[in-house]
Structures are given as C-alpha cells and as structure tokens.
Chain A
Amino acid sequence: MIAETGHYALVLALGLALIQSIVPLIGARLRDPALMNVARSTALAQLVFCGASFVALVVLHVTSDFSVANVYENSHSMKPLIYKITGVWGNHEGSMLLWVSILSLFGGLVAAFGNNLPLSLRAHVLSVQAWVASAFYLFILITSNPFLRLANPPIEGRDLNPVLQDVGLAVHPPMLYLGYVGFSISFSFAIAALIEGRIDAAWARWVRPWTLMAWIFLTLGIAMGSYWAYYELGWGGWWFWDPVENASLMPWLAGTALLHSALVMEKRNALKVWTILLSILTFSLSLLGTFLVRSGVLTSVHAFATDPTRGVFILLILCVFIGGSLSLYAARASSLKQGGLFAPISREGSLVLNNLFLTTACATVLVGTLYPLGLEVLTGEKISVGAPFFNLTFGPLFVPLLIAVPFGPMLAWKRGDLLGAAQRLLAAGIGALLVLALVWAWAHGGSALAPPAIALAVFVILGSLTDLVERFGLFRVPFATALRRARGLPRSVWGTAFAHAGLGIALIGIVCETTWNSEYIGTMKPDDVARVAGYELKLDDLFQRQGPNYREMIAQFDVSRDGRAVSTMTPSKRSFTTRGASTTEAALLTRGASQLYVSLGDATAEGAIAVRIYHKPFVLLIWWGPVLMAFGGVLSLSDRRLRVGAPKPARIQPHLQAAE
C-alpha cells in the first residue's frame, strides 16, 4: 500500500507541476492575478505530495519491505536504522527522489516567503521552477521509479554498498543537493527576468540570499564529501580531481562568481546581463553534474546504475534546459538596460576580476572533465586527465585571484585607490614575508613552491583581518570606540572577512598536507613498532569481532611519542557477507590540526598484516577553511539587509544609486 501511495503522490506532484508550469504564465500574459496566484498554491501542494512520496520511500526502507525492488536491492533487515534511512538516497532512484524533493522544497519556500515579490515575477519564477520539476518527475516516473514491486518478494535484501554505510551518507548528499538544487532558484529568477525583460537592483536583493544559501550548503557538502573520502577510502587522499568531484566544484566556482557579481548588481545596478548569464551557467553546471554522476558515462562510486535510457533522458533534460535558457538569453539579453559605470580600479572592478578568474578556472575544470569524454566519442582513444593537468591549469589561475582577494574589500565603489589599499595592506604583506622567511628556514624537503604558497595564504588571512581592523579603527581610536564600531559593523562585512580568511586557511592545510605528509607502508606482526613523524606505533593486538551485518578484523595500536603513551588507535577491515565486499575503516588520531592516520591492508599467512600509516600535518585546516567560509556565509545571510522578506529601506541611500 505504502509503495503505491508514494507512487501515486509522485504522479500527482507531476500533475501539479505541469499546471504550475503553464497556468501562471498564461496569467502573467493576461495580467490575471487569480491565475498568477495558482503558482503559489500549486507549489505548496507540490511540496506536500512530493514530500509524501519521499516519506513513503523512507518508511519502506525503515520497515524493510523487500517486496519493493529498490528496498531489496539496497537494504538489509540487519542494517542499523540510520543506514536504513540514509540508504534511501544511497541509490540511483532514491537519490533522484531526494533531488526533486529538495527542488519542490525550494519552490515551496519561494511560494511561502515570496509575498513581497511582484506578483508577475513570482508567477514566472515558480513557473520556471515547475518546468525543471516536471522534467525530473517525468525522469523518475519513466526511467527510475523507486516504488516498483517485485513479483516474488525475497526474504532478505541485498544490503547497501558497504562503502556507503557511514554517517557521511547522512550528511553529504542532502547538503550537496541543497546546494545544487538551491541554484535552481537563481536560475528561475534569471529566466523570469529574461521573460519579463525587466531586471533591477531589487531582483539582485532577492536572488542574493537564495544564492548564498545554496552556496553555503554546497561548500559544506563538498567539504563533507572530501572528508568522507579521506577517512573512508583508506588511503588518506582528500581530493582526486575525479570527474564526479569536478562536477560539484564547477557549480561552486560559478556560484561563488555569481555571489560576487550579484553584489555588484545589488549595490550598483551594474553587470546585469553578466549576472543573469552566471545564474544560468551555475544551474546548468549543476545539471551537468547530475548528468555526469547519474548517467553512467563515468564509472565511480557515485554512478549507481548504468542504464543507457537514463543517460539519454538526462542528456535530453540537459540539452533542453541549457540550450533553451541560453537561446532565451541570446534573444533577450540585449533588451535589458545596461547599468552603472565604474573605473577599472574600484570595488566593481575587483569583483569583475574575481568573476573573470573564477569563471576561467571553472572553464579549465570543465575542459579537463569533458575532454576525455569528447576524445573518446570522437576518436575512440581513451585517456585520463588527472591531478597534473589541474595542478598546471587551475593552480596558476588561482594565484592572481588569491593575491587580489584582500584588495577587493578595501577598494571603494565606483573609483578605488589602489595605492591606498596597498598601503593599508602593508602590514599583512610584511606578515606574509615574515612567514615566508620562517617557513623557508624551518622547512626541510618538499616543493620549493610550498613556502610562497603558505605566505600567500597568510597574506589572504591577514588581509581579511586588516579590512576588519581598518573598519573599527583599532589602534587609531580608543579601544572602547573600536569595540562599539565593531559591534555596529554590518554582519556581511564580518561574513566577507571570515569567508576570505577561510580560503587562506584551507590553502595552508592543502599545502602542508601535500608537502610534508609522511607515511609508512609495510607489513607488521604483533609487537612490531612503526615510526612515523616522531610517533611510535606498536601493533598491540589483532582480533576479530562480529558487527551487526559484517565481521571485522581489528588491529590495536599503542601510540606513543618520546616514550610517553599518547593514545590507542584501532583501524579495522570489515567484510560484509551479503555483498561479499570489504571496507577499510581507518583510525584517525587528531593532534591539534594534524592527524595520524592508520589503515589496514591484507593479512598475510604468517599472521602479519599490511598497514599504512600517515602523518598528515595541518590536514584538518583543509576542512576548517570551508567551514569558516560557510560560517561567513551564514553571518552574511543573517545581515538585516539580506534577510529574506526584510522590508525595503524607506530611504534609499544616495550613494547606492549614484548616477553614472
């Protein structure tokens, strides 16, 4: 019954989405408020039905109803409850259902909180949102229905892929999807603006919080996925330039650019056409990511199924939406009025520079990701484009961007003073040079590029702090005054500083981990001692244990440093009988921001075991950076000016609307 109810609810949601995609458009044509308001109620109803459908699938998984093919293939009655729930989106059908559920959630949010939007704009936005939703409902119902029944229900399920049985699955996909799908809002707003042929600063005021929210989730989702890969896959890598990772990085880069260009549009009413294009591109890249991951053109842990009809269907969706929106853009963009003018050296100019580098970096990632696919289709030759390619292209493009980061917030709108900004950043520059000298003197081995890269990161961090310090007037005015000013500072300023500092912190982590990572790989017998980076790890014991749906072999290590016991570490190797697969559970020991990492290989006949031990200096900074960036985003989002639904300021400040 539940499966049929869920299926039926999904069909109803499709029906509602179809109504929502057509009726409000007609209403907007006829200027009929009643028809335009249909969008609001259908969006909310669609959310209810799509949500019901999703809940139905969760219930089926939790109750282990193996008469449903999806549950049979991905669940097991002995699986812990949390993995029964997360297993819902640990497969192709369920993850697509999560995708549309989030899409309908965003549609519902716009409907619920969009009361202060112009009626026709809201009708258009929700209508575009429903086009996307309809396409994906059709995709699910036609090619990947999660509610299919099995004729002869088996007693036991086939269990979830062991690699996915981890808390990471509870967090990473929903976060990532909230990010991916969140960009559909800015896409819908962009298309609505093109249809209406009208766009103004209020539009940007509306789009920015949504984009920011999607960006925060995407940032956290990518960071979470990276940390998950780091501890789960067992060889301590955290980023592989794998096409699937690139698929999430590209919308992030474009989304970051969009965030900055929307700022220019909101404050100065400039870069309108470009912002619209970025909105379209960001969501197109999200769709491309969905296609790459879901169609089976790539083989990866994310590609659950390789069914050609699905690939073709998603490719079709991709072509229709990207092609359609870009054609609309080409036809209508020229009708949008150009906005304010600015000097190349100004806040706007620096944001243009930011956009230029971010989109170019995004383009190189796109080339690196699609080139092997294209080459194989055209010539049949198989190549792989790996880390060296991206290090040679993405890296050099990010260096000028990072140098420019601290300058941006210091420049005034319209016309900036580069020399003044440079003078104010002098302290940060000197700090960076000091760090450079220190690292050079202290570091032994590793790439010669590492100390300058760390100095650059320090420059970014100190530069962001300098901006704050300048604004409170710390060291220039009495401390109490500075404190009062700090409290009065808009939260978005704090947000900017935190997000930029997060970038620098992540860079320090990346450079330290890749340069000064030390490792020990070998076979160990009980009582053997391995020495890595000043730590001594003694293999104390090897024993077997039975888990809920697996058996595991556990190795116990006593970790000591300079003769003093530090801790014990217990990496394990689990074998899952149902799938005949095994996973490596690494043990992590956190010391400050550094980590000791132990994972197991195969046991040999003589009772020894292959082990991998890494010492990863400052590795946690790689993820603390993005967390800080996301925190900056949250601060910015809580800024009064951007609060969703905040009333417009009564008096528009003259400098915001300065004439050309």
Chain B
Amino acid sequence: MTRKQRRMTIIGGSLAVLALAAALVLNALRDSIVFFSTPTMVAEKHVPAGRRFRLGGLVQPGSLQRGDDLAVTFEVADGSAKLPVAYKGILPDLFREGQGVVAEGALDANGVFKADTVLAKHDETYMPKEVADALKKQGHWKDDYGAKPDASNPGATAQGNSKGAVR
C-alpha cells in the first residue's frame, strides 16, 4: 500500500467511527433526554401521561401525607398551579414543606405525577436552579429564596431508586 492509500484507510476508518458515534448521539438525544417543567407549564402544555420529565417547584405547605410502606404524597406548586405527586421511598434529608424540590417521573392517567426520584439539597437557603429561574420568570421570586448560598455549599442529596440523580 502506498502512503496515500494507508492514510485513506485510516481516515475512512475514522469517519466510519465518527458517523457511528454521531448516529448513536442523535438517537440517544431523541429518546433519552428529560425536559424540565413547572406545574404551570404542565397545565399549559398538556403533557401526555407516561412521558418522563422533571417537575420542579415548591412543596406546598400542609400537603405532605405519609402512607403505608414509605408511600408519600405531596403537592408541588409554583404560585399559579399545583400538581399532586406520589412517591414511594425515602425522601431526601432536606426535603421540607415550603422548600424547593425537583422530582423526576411521569404523569399517570389520573394526572398524578408518579415520581421515581426526588431531589433536594442539603442547604436551608438552597433552591434548585431550574426552580429559581422558573419562579423568577413568573414573578413569584421572593428575596429569601435568593439568599445567596455564597459560602454555604449547596450539597445536594438525591434519593430514590434512580441512578440518574444529581449530586
């Protein structure tokens, strides 16, 4: 083989692998990304049941109910809309009513959000970034949420049976 042919072999091989990778990436991006929504966005967009997304907002005070065998229900609110959430498992260390939360899962036929992962953070002043941005956009931003976690490390904890949790 000449130098040119050898080089073409290598370049051809590289292009083939790159094409494969691009195909894999595009395919995966179509199927496996998860969008973020607030209760208001869910109400406006009519998200179909069974489609996975991340729900963010504040845990509605007084809505947390514990059932048998670690089942819990609570409501996530963003000021203008509320969405009931059902979860089974151990809630994060800093899950509190009135605080920000992000849950991942899908709506069921009755319009209840079945979460398989609930994320909250290890810090009193912390508000998940997505939630903070969404609330700001709607004008429900309160200054006390914005108490900058300047030195207080917002150590996240996520609990649930999913492995795709945010740290």
User: Which residue numbers of A lie inside 8 Å of B, CB to CB?
Assistant: 69, 73-74, 90-91, 158, 161-164, 229, 233-235, 237, 239-242, 244, 299-307, 341-344, 349, 352-353, 356-357, 360-361, 363-364, 367-368, 371-372, 381-390, 392-393, 396-397, 519, 521-523, 579-584, 601-602, 604, 610, 612, 660
Contacts and interface: CB of A to CB of B under 8 A. Distances in A.
Interface in B23-80: 24-25, 27-29, 31-36, 54, 66, 69-70
A344 B9 contact: yes
Contacts of B89: 521
Contacts of B3: 341, 660
Nearest to A611: B90
A306 B28 contact: no
A240 B93 contact: no
A330 to B, nearest CB: 18
Nearest to A93: B151
A342 B34 contact: no
A300 B167 contact: yes
A393 B25 CA distance: 6
Nearest to A297: B129
Contact of A382 (B27, B69, B121, B130): B130
B143 interface: no
B94 interface: yes
A579 B152 contact: yes
A523 B3 CA distance: 70
A610 B70 contact: yes
B154 A163 contact: no
B126 to A, nearest CB: 8
A299 B154 contact: yes
B36 A382 contact: yes
Given A387-B163, A389-B33, A158 B21 contact: no
Contact of B34 (A161, A306, A383, A580): A383
Interface residues of B, number: 59
B6 A521 contact: no
Given A382-B130, A393-B24, A584-B93, A234 B152 contact: no
A434 B29 CA distance: 37
B1 A343 contact: yes
Contact of A233 (B33, B128, B130, B167): B167
Contacts of A242: 166-167
B153 A161 contact: yes
A350 to B, nearest CB: 12
Contacts of A300: 156, 166-167
B31 to A, nearest CB: 7
The DSSP consensus for interface residues of chain B is mixed
A483 to B, nearest CB: 40
Interface-centre pick from A371, A386, A612 (highest chain B CB count, 10 A): A386
B167 A388 contact: no
Given A240-B165, A386-B32, A299 B129 contact: yes
Given A233-B167, A364-B24, A602-B90, A164 B54 contact: no
Given A364-B21, A389-B29, 6 more contacts: A237-B165, A242-B166, A300-B167, A301-B122, A389-B32, A397-B20
B122 A581 contact: yes
Contacts of A612: 90
Given A74-B151, A392-B27, A522 B21 contact: no
B124 interface: yes
B164 interface: yes
B111 interface: no
Interface in B106-149: 121-124, 128-130, 133, 148-149
B81 interface: no
B54 A384 contact: yes
27 contacts: A163-B122, A229-B167, A240-B164, A300-B167, A301-B122, A301-B154, A303-B154, A305-B149, A342-B6, A344-B6, A344-B10, A352-B10, A353-B13, A363-B21, A371-B33, A382-B36, A382-B54, A386-B34, A519-B161, A579-B152, A580-B124, A581-B122, A581-B124, A583-B93, A601-B90, A602-B91, A610-B90
Given A158-B151, A356-B14, A392 B28 contact: yes
Contacts of B122: 161-163, 301, 581, 583
Contacts of B66: 604
Contacts of A367: 25
Nearest to B137: A380
A164 B155 contact: yes
Contacts of A360: 17-18, 20-21
A392 B33 CA distance: 11
B105 interface: no
Contact of B164 (A341, A382, A388): A388
Given A306-B148, A610-B90, A91 B6 contact: no
A383 B123 CA distance: 23
